[in-house]
Amino acid sequence: MKSKDNKWVRIRIYVTGVFFVLVLCVIFLRAYQLQILEGNRLSSLARENYTGSVVLMPQRGTIFDRNGKELAISIEVGSVYAYPEAIKDKTGTATLLAKTLRINRKYVLEKLRSARSFVWVKRKVTPEEIKKVGELKLSGIDFTKESRRYYACKETAAHVIGFASQDNRGLEGIELQYNSYLEGQEIKLTRIHDALGRPLLFDGLRKENHDPFNVRLTIDKDISYNARKALKKAVEETGAKSGVCIVLRPQTGEILAIAIVPEFNPNIFWRYKPQDWRNRAVTDCYEPGSTLKAFLLAGALEQGVITPKTILNCERGTYRVGGYVIHDSKPYGMLRVSDIVKVSSNIGAIKMGQRLGAGRFHSCLKRFGFGERTGIDFPGERAGTLKPLRETSLLGQNTLYFGQGISTSPLQLALAFGAIANGGHLMKPFIVKSILDQHGKAIREFGPVVRRDVISPETARTVRMILEGVTEEGGTAPKAAIEGYRVAGKTGTAQKVDPAERTYSDEKFVAFFGGFAPSNSPAVVILVVLDEPKGTPYGGIVAAPVFREVGYLTLNHLSVKPSTRYSSPRPVQRKPKATVQSPDVPGLVPDMQGLGVRDVLNKSRRLGVRVVVKGSGFAVEQSPAAGTPMRNGKSLTVTFRPPC
């Protein structure tokens, strides 16, 4: 009986053991199926349930001016979109949206009736508009965040900065040229969320290499604004078709300002004509007219064929060359070279050119950079034209001496003036100072590059001295003279070619003034071009005042000291009194006005008068007044003020 029971127990144990083994086998097989065979699929299914992604809009890098002030900056704004299939009352929705977003109802309705599953209704709207649309609670209408570009200085430096599209891609100017640095990438962050959908953890921080770079320009926004304002005023007053003003540093080739009229506001660039977006300083070419005489002078002096005192016959204003008669605006006889440039005589220029020779002048112009691109980091630059000498007629060779038969971009001309200003070095212009990462560290920097030496420093100095005469009385541009500074420059008034008649027009001109200040140590080169001014077309009349205004404000902004010392109005009025001082009479108060502190102290010691000194500089006031009786024991109070 006992052995029967034991047998039964053993059987039960075996059965149970087998059962557990079988169960374990099933579990192992199931585990194998879940983990090995379907592991990847199931884990991704699970991940989908507890992870989500957050898309960060691509940011665009900031553009700064040379002083670190923001010129272009991107911020997030809302955009309204629709799922047309989810909208039942399309007409009603379109009416409400059109009213709230201030857009055309027909346009909205067309979008909502579209067969596409997703349409933009209005992109980059104001927060108020987003709020209003949200309050409407329309089905099938939603918002998203997008990055929008803002240009803080509006029209100022707009042609340099350019603009970016709605999709944050650079379309013009620096925005286009440096798009690869400025363009940010869309960042996708994966997050883990809980059962309620609340985000629990992001899988990582923002990737550094996804951040866009910032660009720092050589442009100064204040100088740009002044240039823009002065140029705009001149274009409006003269009725010119367009205008260009360039301000640059001759020693480095840094562009401080480029102002173009007609102007545009890059915040709403689509409202302007595409031709208004063009940076005419690099894309347009003009005949430079008499401004070229400055380079003829430089070439002739460099080759030693003339000196500033060389006298040439200006033929009383009429000179026959190659079967054509060349005229001067006024008849001149024998003139010194310096006076030929000062009064801008065409015949004098031909005489200078004949001494230099067409070949040497041609190579001189090439050395000054005419007919070749400057290499500026800006899209759309044109090289201008400088015809080979063999393709130029005798008349063409002679008219080239006063700037006909050649075309140049305003930037080329400004840089050529820069070469005279900086002692003979032709610089490569640049408009971007550095490219910065998000921490402000420069990853790429740009500096001055000398393209070549064009003339010797001595020649450059002589040319600067002669060009100073242009802005003096009797020169062609006294209106370019800046009070307190020595200014040198050259005017130009170029006839435009009439495309219909293929001859020079008597009605259409381009007025130029290119120059630098202070001429003894140039801090800035400024070039002004006015295309087709109405009325008086002369560069010295219409372009020179722009030079003066921009030059004065720029020199002031750059803290360039005037070469002439000025004193404030009050000391000016009182100083003469001091220079003719009344004689010192014993017992009467001495006259101290106009004297320095040391002189006043010496004089008072000599006369035995006690003095109280107030301020420093020159004596402008005293109490008691000079000539009144001096009371015993009473001191004389003298107020000093520094000269300006």
| Nearer residue to other proteins within complex by CB, 346 or 519 | 519
To other proteins, the closest distance from the beta carbon of 595 in angstroms equals 21
By CB under 8 A, name the one of 66, 73, 355, 615 that touches other proteins.
73
Cβ-contact 224, 263 below 8 angstroms: no
By CB under 8 A, name the one of 222, 263, 339, 468 that touches other proteins.
222
268 binds other proteins, rule: CB under 8 A:
no
Three-class SS of 589-641: CCCCCCCEHHHHHHHHHHHCCCEEEECCCEEEEEECCCCCECCCCCCEEEEEE
Q: Which stretch binds other proteins (CB under 8 A): 24-32, 67-75, 357-365, 385-393?
A: 67-75
To other proteins, the closest distance from the beta carbon of 181 in angstroms equals 18
By CB under 8 A, name the one of 111, 159, 216, 221 that touches other proteins.
221
Which residues, 598 to 637, sit near other proteins by CB under 8 A?
none
| Nearer residue to other proteins within complex by CB, 1 or 196 | 196
483 binds other proteins, rule: CB under 8 A:
yes
Of the chain, the end-to-end C-alpha distance in Å amounts to 133
Pairing label, strands 636-641, 611-614: parallel
By CB under 8 A, name the one of 22, 25, 29, 200 that touches other proteins.
200
CA dist 254 → 278, 343, 368, 486 (Å): 20, 31, 17, 22
> Residue 108, CB half-sphere, CA atoms under 13 Å: how many?
25
Q: Which stretch binds other proteins (CB under 8 A): 210-218, 281-289, 391-399, 565-573?
A: 565-573
By CB under 8 A, name the one of 26, 34, 201, 449 that touches other proteins.
201
Q: Which stretch binds other proteins (CB under 8 A): 113-121, 295-303, 380-388, 566-574?
A: 566-574
Burial code (b: 16+ CB inside 10 Å, e: under 16) for 537-573 equals bbbbbbbbbbbbbbbbbbbeeeebebeeeebeeebee
Distance from C-alpha of 544 to C-alpha of 519, rounded to nearest angstrom: 16
By CB under 8 A, name the one of 31, 42, 75, 311 that touches other proteins.
75
53 binds other proteins, rule: CB under 8 A:
no
Distance from C-alpha of 487 to C-alpha of 8, rounded to nearest angstrom: 124
Which residues, 127 to 156, sit near other proteins by CB under 8 A?
150, 152-154, 156
Residue type, position 579, single letter: T
Distance from C-alpha of 494 to C-alpha of 132, rounded to nearest angstrom: 58
| Nearer residue to other proteins within complex by CB, 260 or 455 | 260
Q: Which stretch binds other proteins (CB under 8 A): 42-50, 161-169, 197-205, 536-544?
A: 197-205
By CB under 8 A, name the one of 100, 177, 226, 476 that touches other proteins.
226
By CB under 8 A, name the one of 288, 371, 484, 514 that touches other proteins.
484
Burial code (b: 16+ CB inside 10 Å, e: under 16) for 151-179 equals bebbbbbbbbbbbbeeebebebbbbbbbb
Enter the tokens of residue 42.
């199931």
290 included as an active-site residue: yes
Q: Which stretch binds other proteins (CB under 8 A): 112-120, 331-339, 383-391, 564-572?
A: 564-572
Give the DSSP H or E segment for 398. helix 394-399
To other proteins, the closest distance from the beta carbon of 612 in angstroms equals 25
Q: Where does 371-414 show beta strands of DSSP type E? A: 385-386, 406-407
| Nearer residue to other proteins within complex by CB, 559 or 632 | 559
Write down the catalytic residue from 290, 338, 344, 434: 290
552 binds other proteins, rule: CB under 8 A:
yes
CA dist 513 → 374, 557, 615, 625 (Å): 20, 21, 45, 53
Q: Which stretch binds other proteins (CB under 8 A): 428-436, 463-471, 473-481, 561-569?
A: 561-569
213 binds other proteins, rule: CB under 8 A:
no
Q: Residue 90 burial by CB count (10 A; 0-12/13-18/19+): exposed, middle or buried? A: middle
For residues 64, 234, 327, 358, the Cα torsion angle rounded to the nearest 10 degrees is: 0
To other proteins, the closest distance from the beta carbon of 189 in angstroms equals 9
To other proteins, the closest distance from the beta carbon of 201 in angstroms equals 4
Distance from C-alpha of 228 to C-alpha of 267, rounded to nearest angstrom: 17
Task: Say which residue the tokens 């002031």 belong to.
Answer: 556
Which residues, 296 to 315, sit near other proteins by CB under 8 A?
none
Q: Which stretch binds other proteins (CB under 8 A): 99-107, 298-306, 480-488, 608-616?
A: 480-488
The number of beta carbons lying within 10 Å of the beta carbon of residue 622 is: 20
Count of residues that interact with other proteins, criterion CB under 8 A: 41
Q: What angle do CA 323, 324, 325 make, to 5 degrees?
A: 130
CA dist 313 → 287, 301, 350 (Å): 26, 18, 10
517 binds other proteins, rule: CB under 8 A:
no
Distance from C-alpha of 68 to C-alpha of 258, rounded to nearest angstrom: 18
Three-class SS of 59-103: CECCEECCCCCEEEEEEEEEEEEECHHHCCCHHHHHHHHHHHHCC
Binding mask 402-431 for other proteins (x = CB under 8 A): ------------------------------
To other proteins, the closest distance from the beta carbon of 270 in angstroms equals 20
259 binds other proteins, rule: CB under 8 A:
no
Residue type, position 25, single letter: C
Contacting positions for other proteins (CB under 8 A): 56, 69-71, 73-76, 150, 152-154, 156, 191-192, 194, 198-202, 205, 221-222, 225-226, 482-484, 552-553, 556, 559, 561-562, 566-569, 642, 644
What residues are annotated to the active site? 290
